[in-house]
């Protein structure tokens, strides 16, 4: 029960990695606030977690992201762990990518994380707490047909490292996880682009028996570790969870 008596906020909690993380933290004793734009999905997860607090917000709106965080911290009475998981992934040929496409992906996947971090900082510092952001192997290796997403996720890693340096004297910790292929509704629903070269995007995990990708629970375990006191000497780190997908 690593989170007994502790509070946590998880964004993007209605499905996938966020849902798995919320359930994991609840099992380990955390008192939770869960945030997402999917109100029905959020309510279902909150119930499964033992009536966690819920916060409905739009991650594309920076002001809404900050306000949601302030509300969650106030209702929880503090914050020991923050998990920024909310994100969006879209495939677009770079030559077809509009300024709005770029702005939306950056707003949800990077700017929202920064605004949430700013709003949560006083509480995290007071608790000597931990922030864990979900990045992606796309930010490490690049990815065809999603340059905006890869750029945003690389930015998330740089943001966590920068906060780790700036706020190390406070005892608050900032880390990221980088999932590779994970079986979620988002990845399952991806349709191929017209004219896409599959050889540019297919890079199966290497771990035996896991060639179709990881499970959300694999990421939840890594996130829970980084958010817990088991990782008190870990800050500014990127933990890649991809079944060996990015080896070599």
What's the angle, vertex CA 106, arms to CA 109 and CA 136, rounded to 5?
A: 45
Sheet with 173-179: strands ordered across: 53-56, 31-36, 7-11, 81-84, 130-134, 173-179, 238-241
What are the backbone angles phi and psi of residue 10, rounded to the nearest 5°? Answer: -120, 125
Question: Mean pLDDT of all residues in the chain?
Answer: 94
Rounded CA gap, 244 and 211, in Å?
10
- pTM for the model: 0.94
Q: Is 149 a catalytic residue?
A: yes
The DSSP element (H or E) to which 238 belongs, if any, is strand 238-241
- Residue-level pLDDT at 210: 73
28-42, 175-189, 225-239: lowest mean pLDDT where?
A: 175-189
User: Mind listing the pLDDT tens digit for each residue in 96-138?
Assistant: 999 999 999 999 999 999 999 999 999 999 999 999 999 999 9
57: pLDDT strictly greater than 80: yes
Helix (H) or strand (E) holding 134: strand 130-134
Range name among 36-45, 51-60, 62-71, 176-185 with the lowest pLDDT average: 176-185
Of 57, 89, 149, 233, the catalytic one is 149
Residue 205 per-residue DSSP state: -
Q: If residue 142 lies in a helix (H) or strand (E), which one and from where to where?
A: none
Asked if 60 and 102 touch (Cβ cutoff 8 Å), the reply is no
Residues 136/113, Cβ–Cβ less than 8 Å: no
Looking at residue 190, its pLDDT comes to 62
User: CA torsion 36→42→43→49, rounded to 10°?
Assistant: -120
Helical (H) or strand (E) element with 65: helix 62-76
DSSP summary character for residue 170: G
Burial 180-189 (b: 16+ CB within 10 A, else e): bbbebeeeee
Q: Which fold is adopted by the domain 7-241? A: Rossmann fold (3.40.50)
pLDDT number for residue 188: 61
Give the CA-trace dihedral at 29, 32, 37, 43, to 10 degrees: 70
The 10s digit of each residue's pLDDT in 183-228 is: 887 666 566 666 667 656 666 667 767 777 889 999 999 999 999 9
């Amino acid at each position: 029960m690593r989170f007994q008596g502790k509070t946590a906020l998880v964004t993007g909690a209605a499905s996938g990695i966020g849902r798995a993380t919320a359930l994991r933290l609840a099992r380990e004793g955390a008192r939770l606030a869960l945030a997402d734009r999917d109100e029905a999905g959020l309510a279902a997860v909150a119930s499964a977690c033992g009536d966690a607090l819920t916060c409905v917000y739009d991650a594309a709106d920076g002001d809404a992201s900050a306000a949601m965080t302030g509300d969650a911290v106030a209702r929880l009475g503090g914050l020991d762990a923050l998990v920024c998981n909310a994100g969006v992934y879209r495939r677009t040929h770079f030559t077809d990518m509009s300024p709005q496409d770029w702005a939306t992906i950056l707003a949800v996947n990077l700017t929202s994380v920064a605004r949430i971090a700013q709003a949560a900082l006083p509480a995290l510092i007071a608790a000597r707490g931990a922030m864990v952001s979900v990045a992606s192997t796309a930010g490490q290796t690049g990815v065809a047909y999603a340059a905006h997403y890869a750029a945003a996720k690389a930015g998330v890693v740089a943001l966590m490292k920068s906060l780790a340096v700036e706020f190390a004297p406070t005892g608050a910790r900032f880390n990221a996880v980088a999932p590779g292929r994970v079986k979620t509704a988002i990845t399952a629903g991806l349709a191929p682009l017209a004219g896409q070269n599959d050889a540019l995007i297919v890079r199966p995990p290497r771990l035996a028996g896991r060639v179709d990708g990881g499970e959300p629970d694999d990421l939840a375990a890594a996130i829970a570790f980084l958010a817990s006191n088991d990782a008190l000497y870990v800050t500014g780190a990127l933990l890649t969870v991809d079944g060996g997908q990015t080896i070599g």
